[in-house]
Structure 1
Amino acid sequence: MRVLIVDDERPARDKMRRLLELEPDISAIDEARDGVDALERLPGFAPDLLLLDIQMPEITGLEVAASLPAPAPLVVFVTAYDEYAIRAFDANAIDYLLKPYDQQRLQRALQRVRERLAQQRAALTVHPKPPTLIEEAPAPSHPLPAISQLLIPERGGTRIVKVEQIQWIETADNYVVLHTADGQPLMRQTLAGLVDKLGPRFQRCHRRAAVQLDWIASVQHLDKGDGELVLRSGVRVPCSRQYRAEVMARLQAPPIRAPERPPSC
């Protein structure tokens, strides 16, 4: 098992490394000092597991989890604050370690990770995935927590994209394109999975597109039940008849407030 420790406090990283080195099946350990550093290390290190702090400067652990490229490593949140436990499990975390933890509690979390990895390997053996396509992830049984920004690794750095600046999203092979006024960065993610992570401000409007509801200025009706969404920027986004009724219903609902960021420690 390959493990990436993500924590802005060096003593916390040192403790976790010491305990992990006692586990015989952990083949590699790396450390990241914050969320941006973690995302930059992902492609080269390819961890099976992220041990992820929640409260970190600038970028929270929840935002890191939402920015993970697909297929994403498993996540165990490690934090001194218990108030984020529900949000962490909504973000598909395997476990939630509350500081201070001991070797026994860490071992229980690692056992859950081992079981999930074994399930994934078994599923791939029975139903192997196509090597070049990212499958649409099924919608979760309850909404994921909304986030305020995404982190996108780029050559030589990491781009931070504020969610409020994303006008619409479209699929592009194994990626999604985030359309903003400042550019169209690519993110390795499924459209369905990203819309779930971004929260209720976004609505699927086409098999290959989703839109931020606050950006819609008008709806144009076309033939055969299809339509176009005209955004405040003047951009036109396709709206298929499959999604048009839901888009119209969402536009008539009360506005969605932007999420509040958890306080930094």
Structure 2
Amino acid sequence: MEDQMKNAVTCMIVDDEKPAHQVLNQYIDRVPGLSPIEGAYLGLDALDKIPILKPDILFLDVEMPDLSGLRVLDLLKTLTASVILTTAHQNFAVDGYGYAVKGFLLKPIYFEEFISTVYRVRQQREIINNSAFMPVQPVLTGFEIDLESGDDSQGKFPVFHKDTMIVKVDGRIVQIPYADVTFVEGAKNYVKIYIGDIVRYCRIPISVMMSRLPSSLFITTNRSFIVNRLAFIEMEGNEMLMNNNYRVKVSKDLRALVLAKLTFNG
């Protein structure tokens, strides 16, 4: 138990609203391997506490009465934490692209988005040990396979690698390079992976796919679609035309964020 606490990923919340602290703390408590530490309700207070507490993950509200979250990032000379901005307005999330921000959570924050974002940040942090951080069940249960043993008795696919994913299609094991994927569509507890005009069916929730695909290449356009940013031809209104001539809807709430990711060079 002591070793688990020592290896826990510490999470700090900076938000001027008490309900925001309550919700995020509840989510943190539900994830084994995450540990909440003392938070802050004002930007100035955060400037004092962050260098001392050195959180691994920082949930930082953009709008606060004294200093905005972005201003806090401006004033912090050194920051080792992975920053996740929280905001009720997607345009502030767009502003965050000028900073070393690892993720965004739009309020109201739902647990599905929380775990997807935190899991993606976990993948980016070398300091987090897999044995200390296990995603909440059943979100990620049963979709990874031990390739050395070859045991697929529980249908543990897909497997995600650096540049490819391995899926099971009609009893066959198929490797799909991320670059070949046009977009992914979610449907209940499975997804449809579009590779040009070819469609592969994979038994995995869309929320898990969102957390596992590389965020540098893929963009979530709404709750049911993830697109390859290099496979889109044009965007008109709230629709994206992909290079396989399919059109994908873009949520009004996410449109500004999608545009920012399409034009972001970092």
TM-score, length-normalised on structure 1? 0.43
Whose RCO is larger (CA < 8 A, sep 6+)?
Answer: 1
TM-score, length-normalised on structure 2? 0.43
Higher helix share: 1
